[in-house]
Structure 1
Amino acid sequence: MNQQLYSHAGKPCRNFNILATEVLIDPVDGREKFVLSNYAMGETGSLILIDTITGQGENLPLPVGPGAWGLVNWHHEKLVVGTCVDHAYLHVLDLRTRQWAPVLISEGESYFWGMTLGSDGKVYGGTYPGCSLMQYDPQTHTLLNLGKVSDNVSNQYSRPVWGEAAGYILMNYGFDTNGMKAYRISDGQFIEFGSPGEQIKWVTGKLVCTEQENGNGLAYYDAAALQPVDGGAVTERDIPLLTLTLTGGQSVPIRHLGGNRAAGVKGQEYFIADLPPDSASYAEPMEVDLKRIPVEAPATAIFTLQSDGKELLWGASGFGQTVFSFNPSTGAYWNSPSVCNAGGEVYGLQFIDNRLFMSAYVGGDHVLYDPSRPWEQLHNVNPRTLRSVAPELIRPEGRSVLGPDGAFWTGWSAQYGVYGGGLSRVDPATLEVEIWYDPVPGQQVSGLAADEKYLYFTTNGGASGLPTRKVQSRFIVWEPGKGIVLESLFEEEQEAGNAIAALGGKVVCCAGDAIHIFDRRQGEFVAAVPVGQSCQWLVALDERTAGAFCGEEYWEIDMETGSGHQVIRTPGYVRASALHDGKLYFAAGSDLYVLNRTYLEG
């Protein structure tokens, strides 16, 4: 019955998301290869080996998992891969045979945030949420948890890790309290060095460079003794070249190749460039020849959907900072390069005057793209990154809406290690950005909707880099030009989520395991529809009806009677939905579906 009510529309979202790189000499053919670790949200990740001379690519799917932050070249014999996001898998590829060893799992961990090769020949990695240091022994193919790096139980991250200092594994931790530690390989002890809040920036066999808390300058330590070194004695030759600045101003991490060359990745493209002979020239912006990664981009999970009001449905990838368009009539699709310089993903999409306004994590960015003009992101022309809300706000958790004043509004969560949130407004005529920080102190904006008169948003105790805090979630009515005009508290056990929609004087939002209906004319909630679980997406279908995706169920909510009923079981967990040309489209993972019924769009 379900299959008669909806149809599969396609897999239009396809992109690369390169989280780590390496360089090796391939034992199969003796050629230098630039290795990319690709994360495919909702699908299976892969390693991509690119011949640095011919540009030919080889794609090697991982045994399991969407992809990796951790990547280590073990003596040009093996590639060690640490993955995220559901489970911290560890994969080991034998380069000569191209065979994978049996999969190892870091129990209780979701992420390997990074990996490094220690001076003892073992591979080490940091984790989330355990803030642990893991040790992999390539000789025995065993994985060992060496313990939590930080004594603060609220610290969930140990990242990055460095093995360049002989005898030590160095690491940062955070984000409730930030710091750094050294693991002494000889006796297995974690030892403190430096000041509270200090964070490592880079490590060589000679020096450790750190940044003091609140950006109060750099400090240096001897890599052998971890004792302070006079910064005045550090020369330009001591500082490793880790990034290049491209024309347009973006700083891109690089890997050094033979013949004084470097390789790097910018979004969906990579480059190989000759380095200038004079090290003083490295700081100058560099023109590089960007090339598409030479294997087919995989399908990836759809994170956001939005109609352009014409013939195209638009969306954003679940990770990788790209957007796509899809023509339901023809099945044709297009996927963009990265929309801005920061990594992460686009949360909010809205078309205003035929231009696409976007909000993006992790840089707290507002981005404007005109589909009628040529793509020129490298020089910040089209798409164009507008004023950011970072560092105070970084994640557009509440998504974005077209406000009653015709502006582009976004609901935000605060920076890593901080509970809080905010709102931003982009004027589509002047592109001026306004920001309201912490309208509900200490709570992030979890969902945002608008009608012809007000903005409506919900809040909760979620945060980036911190455990969710138990707070009393709010429902806020906000009038542009005035601010908060009404505030309502949910019951303590009713945590508000992202799902919220408004139309026809009614607002529906999810808190706890019910969908709550707010009547604008009465200025209060008038009903709650129990759905038995949290709802992750709501869409207004007409002035009376809302569509609700709850777990793997699709409900329709009658906002007049305060009732609802389940319509179908969905083919997966739905993270995005949009009404387009009278049809309701929804995404489960990388698959796009359409309900086989027509709605009269409000």
Structure 2
Amino acid sequence: MPPFRRTLVPATVLTLAAALLPATAPASAAPAEATPGTVTDFGVQQTALTVFEAHYGTGADDRPVVYGVQMGSPGVLSVTDPVTRELLDTAYLPESSGAWGITQSSDGTVYAGSYPNAHLYSYDPKTRTTVDLGAPVAGQTVLYGLRPGADGRVYGGTYPGAHVFSYAPGEGFRDHGRMYAGEQYVVDVAVDPTRNLLWAAVGTAGHLIRLDLATGEKRDIWPETMRGDANYPYDINLVGGKLFVKRNKLQGLVLDPDTGAVLADGFTMGSRGTSALAPDGRSVYFTSGTDLWRYDLPTDTVGPVRDAAGTPVRSDGAGIGFGFLDGQLYAVIGNYGGQALRYDPATGASERYRLPFPPQALDINNITAGPDGRIWTNLYINGNLAVLDPDTGTATNVGRLGQADGFGWHGGLMYQGVYPYGGVLVYDPAQPYRLGTNPRELFRLQPDGQNRPIAFASAGSRIYVGSTPDYGLWGGALTVYDTATGARTTHRNIVADQGVISLAVVGDRLWAGTTIGGGGGTVPRATEAKVFTADLVTGEKTAEYTPVPGADAITSLVAGPDGMIWGLADGEVFVLDPASGAVTHRVDVPGRSSGVADELVVSTADEHVYAALDGYLHRIDPLTKDVRVIRDAQTYRLTQDGQGNLWFRNGVKAANGAVQYGSHLLRYVPEADDCRRSDLRAQVYAGDATGVPNRYAERGCTVNDLIRDEASWDSHGAFVAHVAAVTDDLVDAGLLSGAEQDAIVAAAGRSNIGR
């Protein structure tokens, strides 16, 4: 499996939600004293709303309801009344973190398809009971695009196997196989129960498969000129005998479902597909930008819906579910605020309102420590930004940003790398938060084929950004941005077919680490990750190294406390000499690589190197390279504050390796260190070289720290006596041998210190 494979998140979900309700404020955690050697849990940082998809259906006693699937810990299926605007039920989807698809079958059962366990859940509206039906296809992590068929059957697609499956009560699951060899996503399906046909939207190379459910015959009807294009079909709906397609870059198409002939194009569709056929027998509704649009089936014409005064009807965001009640159109709008729309085609009247979807504790996607000691967190997919004051234990929701896959700081400003459009934004925490002006967008990398700005570093007036490619593409980039002039240079594919995921400025060079992974839905073309150096002014590559042959990714690079470059590659720590590029040490640490979240930190509190991977937190002695396990679970997204305290989120690792339920922020305070900025010379010096390896003694002090040969001494004899006394204690403690003591005292005796 290629590294850094992420769940495919539609641009609709992440970019087109309209004005949002503030997230519910989390309960404040009582501030805890920063006691060395302890972990403090500051609790859930934010509860917020992420509704992936909504389905208008019927509840108990045929009551009209909206079924929504939400991100949560675990995932949630919520039931609301679109007319009375009440929350009727909140059902949980055990072992999941949410669901991308929801539908109601012809027998009234509601089905949700989850991630990261790729299970199908049934919900009975009459009894309000939820059943985990299990995995339709083994080895999958996401189910997409649930649609009803005949006789209570439902259909859906999978990732990463690009299968289509069905489920029917009394029969169970049926695997209809992989829809296209080499592809990973079936992101939506459409079904014609009368003709026993199904259409599967396949990404990321772009295919639209027409499947005969009776014979198993598959035919690609995606227009030939679009095949292989990473702008693949994303949402599909069969309405009135025509196939409506939204491509993942939001272009809309209407196709003949049998031939793939284009019936209409040239419009934008932001919604999760379209409505069903309206009661008038000719209208199909969807959203485009922040407006409601209509497609007229008989004439194949499309345009904005207008009210009685001729003004476009605003939706204020992307529709994620449509339904008709008493001749009126209802829609859930956006993913994060519970917005909804009612539109009456007879009068042109419309209303925008909110539905009471229940906010949930959501996973922290990224963490960064500000120069003022406050800790910033960003939510996965939802994108809300919050800040914690460690002194009070209070977390405050600042506002919506978007999913930040990278953070950096320079000159007191926060630089933010936002998925899925590859945006790089700058934010001044001293000024009021207002998305668009503070933070404001500096540039976006999607035109350069990038969608995740992950790694940040800075030197002088320049910011450096490492990024990974968009879905279906290969080749990351290194971007140099000059904050003084606004000039930007992006070096695409700076290491062939590899993404740039770690950066560190050391001396007069920029050091960078890569991943062999391409964008989502691709298979790696490269075979081993690289470290490269680049010119700090131009960003041009100056050298390239292979520190760990065969490694898939170099997820972290840091300037070590010993003047060396330390890196983390596939769960192995390496130490590289910046003068020669030679690797001097390789250290296996417990745990396996868990992707881009694996991090190294050199603590300013005790100059040890800390590694977080696979839930572990390790403390590595910079002299001996010995590894000590601090935590063996629930440690992800490591960073540190200015005092050297380590911050991370929790998380539970599922059987398939996915990490869930990471909504808590925690702090580890390193053990007491009486000798900050220790003398880390490789051997002990007592005014002269001793040949004895330097090592840590107690309370963070090395032998060199205790010898103190840099201090001023009243006499040579006083210095030698001090060395003798110190080494006596170290021998008694078992930290030095007698022979080593003799060598150190002898070096002190022949030195010129105190003479």
**Structure 1, residues 253-282: CA drift from partner, whole Å, max 9, x if none?**
243343534333434202223437599x99
**Structure 1, residues 51-72: CA drift from partner, whole Å, max 9, x if none?**
3234333422113311111211
Equivalence map 1:190-589=2 (5 Å)? 190-196=218-224, 197-198=226-227, 200=233, 202-209=237-244, 218=253, 220-221=255-256, 223=257, 225-226=258-259, 228=261, 231=264, 240-246=284-290, 252-257=318-323, 258=325, 260-275=328-343, 277=345, 291=354, 294=356, 296-340=358-402, 345-377=403-435, 380-396=436-452, 399-428=454-483, 433-451=488-506, 453-463=508-518, 464-469=520-525, 471-482=527-538, 483-502=540-559, 505-534=563-592, 536-542=598-604, 544-559=607-622, 561=623, 563-589=625-651
**Structure 1, residues 193-228: CA drift from partner, whole Å, max 9, x if none?**
34444555553132124589999995631x4x5464
Q: 1:9 & 1:489 partners in 2: Cα distance?
A: 40
Q: 1:55 & 1:466 partners in 2: Cα distance?
A: 43
* Aligned match of 1:173: 202
* Residues 527 and 562 in structure 1, CA contact (< 8 A), matched pair in contact too: no
* Residues 22 and 36 in structure 1, CA contact (< 8 A), matched pair in contact too: yes
Distance 1:309 1:38, change over 3 A: same
Distance 1:217 1:262, change over 3 A: closer
Of 364-373 and 440-449, more deviation after overlay is shown by: 364-373
Of 4-13 and 60-69, more deviation after overlay is shown by: 4-13
Q: 2:286 & 2:479 partners in 1: Cα distance?
A: 34
* Aligned match of 2:714: none
One-letter code aligned to 2:189: V
* Residues 531 and 554 in structure 2, CA contact (< 8 A), matched pair in contact too: no
* Residues 404 and 454 in structure 1, CA contact (< 8 A), matched pair in contact too: no
TM-superposed CA distance for 1:533, in Å, is: 4.6
* Aligned match of 2:667: 594
Q: Quick check: 1:145 aligned with 2:202?
A: no
User: Number of residues paired by the alignment?
Assistant: 575
* Aligned match of 1:156: 184
Equivalence map 1:4-83=2 (5 Å)? 5-27=38-60, 31-40=63-72, 43-57=73-87, 58-75=89-106, 77-83=108-114
* Residues 143 and 159 in structure 2, CA contact (< 8 A), matched pair in contact too: yes
Q: 2:559 & 2:482 partners in 1: Cα distance?
A: 21
Q: 2:526 & 2:404 partners in 1: Cα distance?
A: 27
Distance 1:12 1:182, change over 3 A: same
When Rg is computed on C-alpha atoms for both structures, the one with the higher figure is 2
What SS does the corresponding residue of 2:382 show, helix, strand or coil?
coil
* Residues 164 and 203 in structure 1, CA contact (< 8 A), matched pair in contact too: yes
One-letter code aligned to 1:298: Q
One-letter code aligned to 1:38: Q
* Residues 539 and 548 in structure 1, CA contact (< 8 A), matched pair in contact too: yes
One-letter code aligned to 2:490: I
**Structure 1, residues 22-49: CA drift from partner, whole Å, max 9, x if none?**
1123225x54333321123xx3100122
**Structure 1, residues 513-541: CA drift from partner, whole Å, max 9, x if none?**
42112333455433323325546211121
* Residues 71 and 360 in structure 2, CA contact (< 8 A), matched pair in contact too: no
One-letter code aligned to 1:39: M
TM-superposed CA distance for 1:80, in Å, is: 0.3
What SS does the corresponding residue of 1:269 show, helix, strand or coil?
coil
**Structure 1, residues 399-427: CA drift from partner, whole Å, max 9, x if none?**
23231134443211112122211123444
One-letter code aligned to 2:198: I
* Residues 620 and 626 in structure 2, CA contact (< 8 A), matched pair in contact too: yes
- Name the % identity: 19
Of 495-504 and 313-322, more deviation after overlay is shown by: 495-504
Distance 1:124 1:109, change over 3 A: same
* Residues 455 and 467 in structure 2, CA contact (< 8 A), matched pair in contact too: no
What SS does the corresponding residue of 1:71 show, helix, strand or coil?
strand
Q: 1:386 & 1:121 partners in 2: Cα distance?
A: 51
What SS does the corresponding residue of 1:53 show, helix, strand or coil?
coil
Q: 1:322 & 1:376 partners in 2: Cα distance?
A: 13
Superposition RMSD in Å: 3.7
What SS does the corresponding residue of 1:441 show, helix, strand or coil?
coil
**Structure 1, residues 452-505: CA drift from partner, whole Å, max 9, x if none?**
643221112112212344512210112222322221123432333312223564
One-letter code aligned to 2:200: M
Distance 1:601 1:426, change over 3 A: farther
One-letter code aligned to 1:118: G
Distance 1:50 1:354, change over 3 A: farther
Distance 1:179 1:238, change over 3 A: farther
Q: 2:494 & 2:351 partners in 1: Cα distance?
A: 43
What SS does the corresponding residue of 1:455 show, helix, strand or coil?
strand
Distance 1:262 1:387, change over 3 A: farther
Distance 1:534 1:475, change over 3 A: farther
Q: 2:345 & 2:249 partners in 1: Cα distance?
A: 35
Q: 1:158 & 1:45 partners in 2: Cα distance?
A: 21
TM (norm. structure 1) is: 0.84
TM-superposed CA distance for 1:446, in Å, is: 2.8
TM (norm. structure 2) is: 0.68
Q: 1:38 & 1:213 partners in 2: Cα distance?
A: 21
